[in-house]
Structures are given as C-alpha cells and as structure tokens.
C-alpha cells in the first residue's frame, strides 16, 4: 500500500523528497472513474423504473416526489462539507467510507418494502455520493502533480460523469425488462465492493498536513442553506411560485449569505474565500452551472418528445442519447491538448459555443422532426460539454492548493447540482407555461373539463386524447404535439442565447494566460525551489494567479 502523501507543495512522500505524483496514478484514475460512473448513473437510472415502482410500492404523489428529489437534495447540501472533511480526515479513507455507504444504501433501496424505506435509502445514497464525488476530484489533484497529465485525467473524469448520466436510462430499461425495479439499485453493490477493494489496494492516502479548526457553524449554514435553496428550485419547478417555494428559497438565500459573510470574517473558514478572487476560478464555477443548465432541462424535454410524441420506449429514449456520450468522449480528451497549449479561455469558449450552437439547431423542432436532427444537436452538446467541463475542472482544481483540493472539489460539484436543478426547474417551468398558453384555444368536440386536464402537460394531454373518440382525440393530440414542439423550440432558442453570452463572458473575464503551461511553469512543476523563483508568490494568493504571473514574466 502507498505511503501517506504530504500535501505541502504537491506530493512529498512520508515527509521526504518531492515526487512527480503517485507511481500508480493511472490505475488510481481507473478506480475513481469507475466509482464516479456509478454515482452519475444513479442520477438518471431511476427515471425508467418510476412507473413500475409506483405500481408495486404505491407511493402517494408527495412520497413519489421525495423518492425522486431526496437524492439530489442530500448530495447538493453535503458536497462542500464532505469535500473539506476529506481534506482533514484523509481522502482515501473518506472515499472508502463513501463506497461502503453507497453500497449499503443501494442494497437497502433494492429491497425496500415501502415508500418510506425507499426514501430513507435514497437519502443515504445521496450521503454516499456526496462523500465520493469531491473525493475523486481532490485525489486526482493530489496524485497527478504534472499539469498536462492532470488535464488528461480530468478529461477522463468528465467523460465518466457524462457517460454515467447518459447510459443510466439504457441500463435501467434493460434491468426493468428482465428483472424487478429494485435491480436498478442492486447493480451498484458488486461495483462498490470492487471499487472498495481496488481503493484500499491502489489509492494513496493524502490529507491536509495541518488542517485548520473545523467550522461547525459554517458547515451547518452550508448544508441547510443549500438544501433549502435546491428544494425551492425543485418545488418551484414542479408546483410553481407557491408560498412553500418562496419561503424555502428566501431561507436558503439568507443562510447562504450568512455563510459567505462568515467565510470572509472567521480565521478558519469552511472553504478558502481567496479561491473566488481568481477570475478563472469564478468564471469556471459559473460556467459549470450554466453548462449543466443547458443539459439537465434538455434531457427532460427530449425524453418527453420521444416518448409521448414519438412513442419510443424508455430504453429506446436512452439509446437515442448515445451521440451525447460519444461526442463527450471525443471532446474531453481534445481539451487535454488544447488547455495546456492555448489556455482555459479558448477551451471554455469552444465548449460553451458548441453547446449554445446545438440549442439553435433545436429551435425549429416539430412533432415529425427526424432523429438525425436531434443526433446532430446531441453531438454538439456532448462535444461542448466535454470541452467546457474539462477546461472548467482544470481551472478550478489548478487554482486550489493540493492541501485544500477537497473544498474546491465540493464547490465544483455543488455547481453541477445547482445547474442541473435550475435547468429542470426553469426550462421545465418555461416550457410548461408556453405549452399551457398554446393550449388555451378549445378543440372542437372536447369539453372544457377535458381541456383543463390536457393543459396540465403533454403527458396529461396524451392521456385525455386517448379517452376521446374519433377525430376529437386525434385533434387534441395533434394540438398537444404542436404546442409542446413550439415550447421546446422557444426554450431551446433562449437557452442557446444564454450560452453564447456565457462564451462571450469567458472571453472577456478569463485571462488569456490562465491554464497555459509555459516552459517555465512546466519546469517548475513539482519543484518547490524553482516554483518560488519563477513565480512571484504572495501570501494567500491562489495557485492559478501565481501561474499567470509566471506566464507574464
């Protein structure tokens, strides 16, 4: 087993000399990628199991909402705290704990005998995921001390994250067709056992050499504030601006404001506020939120279009997302070459521009639009996401010092969750509002009560149309198909405009030198003496700022 890695200056062993990173770092990356794949898969695998699960467990509408939402609520709330705890307690130890929790929760979810037990198991799954996700990034930061190699590793990491979310519906569909609904959770157990054994054997331990005092108040503010805000986003997307949405949203913003004020004032904050003084870090975090904003809502709208308008099965819908995965697998590795040579600015511009351009392809979607149009758009979004996510992760993790990598990883992962939640809530709400407006006009032969039910959403309209005889049912379905396609197109146009504006902001606010590996900086990598000579260091200044200073010199 590897010795403990000292985080001072990026990777000494056992308190001795400097090393260029863990000798078995690529095997370590394999373990981390496998675990991240499973965690990302669990974000989407449940979607195809919901109809069967609803029939067998018979949850109420509120319970069903909690079964779906509690996972992301717990994950979003705990990521920052779990990331900083990993820095303190040991990242390998914390990662292994995450594997144990995630595996046990998966078994409990698979054999749940009622809605309450499944909700509890899903919450425990969220805890395991919140431990695993920032641990994977912070371990990559510590075992890959060479900047170019780390960019390659982060490209693999981004690909695995996208792969898990993309293949989740496919794997879920296969399991449901051949086994029972609980099998979508049970497949996690042997993978977690394998990952645990591999982590114990291969992953080197690393931790903050002199951790500051734990900020209990800051952690509580972070957890409660983020859970309140994410709950408000999810509830608002499903129910609109009800009192519950407004109260929890305001509470979340107040608590997070208090967290920011505390982080700026206390001597030992939950995370290092100096990270956000670096423009590359701040813009990268914002870009992650907005890139996920584009992708999360799109998945929701696409699956509805394919299943309710086109009649595709859940598994067929999952297979149709494969261009997204394949393009991500191409885009992310390309960035491992572009970022060190040309910098973060151009890599993120390419990524956000590709995603935005892909949404413009979808602005003219019709009920009879052929699949190849969607495939082109998905390929553009996948390639763009691979570019943007790899560049953003590189900027975020290179800004952070190795000793506080877990906190930075928690911030990045939280931005993923917030972006996805905002996307589903905002894009879903806008599309629903546009759909209802398009459905305002009555359909001949359809009574007003049926029309009111049909205006609730595409699924409701298709259900009502199926109960109506003859031409009335056909006309209602045609009207609903057209209304949804129009709403889809307008939402895509707005999202495309936002993402192009983000690409422009990236050009304006990220320094040209950010992320580039110059010969001087490359020579200083892993050499503390050379690093101090080449890079004019100021106390508390983030690592990326120091790299930029070296570039200018």
Length of the chain: 553
465 vs 456: CA distance, rounded Å = 13
Give the residue-averaged pLDDT of 288-315: 78
Which two structure tokens, joined as six digits, stand for 260? 């920011």
Q: Are 484 and 304 in contact (CB under 8 A)?
A: yes
Q: How is residue 277 written in tokens?
A: 């003084």
Where does the pLDDT of residue 541 fall: very low under 50, low under 70, confident under 90, or very high at 90 and above? very low
- Comparing CA positions, the residue from 369, 363, 364, 372 lying closest to residue 496 is 363
Question: Mean pLDDT over residues 529-539, rounded?
Answer: 33
What mean pLDDT is predicted for residues 140-168?
79
Fill in the DSSP letter of residue 21. B
Question: In angstroms, rounded to a whole number, what is the distance separating the alpha carbons of residues 548 and 537?
Answer: 11
Strand ranges inside 165-306, DSSP E: 206-207
The residue assigned the tokens 């800004």 is 399
Mean pLDDT lowest among 66-70, 463-467, 528-532:
528-532
And the tokens for 350?
Answer: 């390419």
For position 525, what pLDDT does the model report?
Answer: 46
Q: Which residues, in sequence order, are CB contacts of 368 under 8 Å at separation 6+?
A: none
Q: Is the pTM of this model over 0.95?
A: no
Helix extents (H) in 45-187: 50-57, 61-89, 91-110, 115-143, 147-178, 183-186
Give the pLDDT band of residue 11 (cuts 50, 70, 90): very low
What is the reported pLDDT for 121?
92
- What pLDDT score was predicted for residue 374? 92
List the single range of 2-11, 59-68, 236-245 with lowest mean pLDDT.
2-11
Residue 238 pLDDT grade (very low, low, confident, very high; cuts 50, 70, 90): low
pLDDT tens profile 63-118: 777 787 788 788 888 888 888 888 888 888 989 999 999 999 999 998 988 888 99
- Residue 283 CA neighbour count, 13 Å, CB half: 26
Report in angstroms the alpha-carbon separations of 194 from 45, 201, 247, 429. 20, 11, 44, 41
Give CA 342 to chain center in angstroms. Answer: 26
Question: Which of the pair, 543 or 471, is modelled with greater confidence?
Answer: 471
- Cβ proximity of 226 and 77 under 8 Å: yes
Task: Report d(CA 311, CA 500) in Å as an integer.
Answer: 33
pLDDT in tens, 294-307: 776 777 788 788 87
DSSP symbols for 264-315: HHSSS-SS-GGGGGSHHHHHHHHHHHHHHHHHHHHHHHHHHIIIIIS---HH
Instruction: Round to the nearest angstrom and report the end-to-end CA distance of the chain.
Output: 41
Q: Provide the pairing of β-strand 12-13 with 5-6.
A: antiparallel
| More confidently predicted of 20 and 353 | 353
pLDDT exceeds cutoff 70 at 397: yes
Rounded Cα–Cα distance for residues 486 and 434 (Å): 8
Residue 386: CB partners within 8 Å, gap ≥ 6? 155, 158, 159, 162, 327, 328, 329, 330, 331, 332, 333, 334, 335, 351
Give the whole-angstrom CA distance, residue 38 versus residue 347. Answer: 27
The whole-number average pLDDT for the span 276-289 is: 81
Confidence of residue 314 (pLDDT cuts 50, 70, 90): low
Q: What is the mean pLDDT of the chain?
A: 78
Is the pLDDT higher at 542 or at 205? 205
526 — pLDDT class (breaks 50, 70, 90): very low
What's the pLDDT tens digit per position in 472-523? 888 888 888 888 899 888 888 988 888 888 888 888 877 777 666 665 544 4
Q: What is the pLDDT of residue 239?
A: 66
Tally Cβ neighbours within 10 Å of residue 487: 24
Residue 332 near residue 153, CB atoms below 8 Å: no
Q: What is the tens place of the pLDDT at every residue in 357-377?
A: 999 999 888 988 889 999 999
Average pLDDT over residues 209-230: 83
Percent of the chain whose predicted confidence (pLDDT) is above 70: 85
Torsion sign, CA atoms 323, 327, 328, 330: positive
């Amino acid at each position: 087993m590897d010795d403990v890695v000292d985080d001072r200056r990026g990777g000494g062993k056992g308190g001795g000399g400097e090393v260029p990173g863990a000798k078995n770092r690529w095997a370590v990356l394999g373990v981390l990628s496998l675990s991240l794949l499973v965690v990302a898969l669990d974000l989407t695998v449940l979607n195809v199991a919901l109809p069967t699960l609803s029939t067998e467990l018979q949850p109420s509408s509120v319970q069903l909402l909690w079964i779906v939402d509690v996972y992301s609520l717990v994950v979003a709330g705990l990521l920052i705290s779990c990331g900083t705890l990993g820095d303190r307690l040991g990242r390998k130890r914390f990662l292994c704990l995450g594997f144990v929790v995630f595996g046990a929760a998966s078994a409990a979810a698979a054999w749940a005998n009622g809605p309450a037990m499944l909700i509890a198991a899903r919450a425990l799954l969220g805890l395991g995921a919140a431990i695993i996700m920032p641990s994977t990034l912070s371990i990559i930061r510590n075992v890959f001390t060479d900047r170019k190699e780390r960019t390659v590793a982060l490209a693999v990491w981004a690909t695995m994250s996208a792969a898990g979310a993309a293949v989740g519906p496919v794997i879920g569909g296969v399991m449901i067709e051949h086994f029972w609904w609980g099998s979508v959770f049970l497949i996690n157990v042997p993978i977690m056992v394998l990952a645990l054994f591999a982590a114990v054997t291969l992953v080197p331990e690393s931790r903050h050499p002199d951790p500051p005092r734990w900020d209990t108040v800051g952690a509580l503010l972070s957890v409660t504030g983020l859970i309140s805000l994410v709950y408000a986003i999810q509830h608002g997307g499903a129910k609109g601006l009800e009192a519950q949405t407004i109260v929890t949203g305001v509470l979340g913003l107040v608590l997070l404001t208090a967290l920011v004020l505390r982080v700026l004032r206390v001597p030992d904050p939950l995370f290092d506020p100096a990270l956000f003084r670096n423009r590359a870090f701040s813009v990268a975090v914002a870009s992650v939120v907005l890139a996920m904003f584009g992708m999360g809502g799109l998945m929701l709208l696409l699956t509805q279009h394919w299943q309710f308008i086109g009649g595709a099965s859940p598994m067929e819908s999952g297979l149709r997302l494969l261009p997204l995965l394949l393009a991500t697998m191409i885009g992310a590795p390309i960035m491992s070459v572009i970022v060190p040579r040309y910098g973060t600015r151009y890599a993120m511009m390419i990524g956000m521009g590709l995603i935005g351009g892909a949404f413009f392809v979808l602005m003219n979607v019709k009920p009879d639009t052929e699949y190849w149009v969607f495939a082109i758009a998905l390929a553009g979004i996948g390639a763009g996401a691979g570019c943007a996510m790899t560049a953003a992760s590189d900027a975020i993790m290179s800004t952070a010092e190795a000793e506080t990598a877990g906190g930075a990883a928690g911030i990045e992962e939280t931005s993923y969750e917030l972006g996805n939640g905002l996307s589903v809530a905002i894009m879903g709400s806008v599309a629903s509002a546009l759909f209802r407006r398009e459905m305002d006009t009555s359909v001949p032969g359809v009574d007003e009560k049926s029309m009111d039910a049909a205006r609730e959403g595409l699924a409701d309209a298709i259900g009502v149309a199926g109960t109506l005889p003859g031409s009335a049912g056909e006309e209602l379905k045609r009207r609903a198909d057209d209304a949804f396609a129009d709403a889809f197109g307008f939402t895509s146009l707005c999202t495309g405009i936002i993402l192009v504006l983000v690409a422009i902001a990236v050009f304006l606010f990220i320094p040209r030198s950010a992320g580039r590996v110059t010969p001087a900086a490359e020579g200083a990598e892993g050499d503390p003496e050379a690093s101090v000579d080449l890079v004019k260091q100021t106390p508390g200044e983030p690592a990326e700022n120091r790299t930029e200073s070296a570039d200018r010199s």
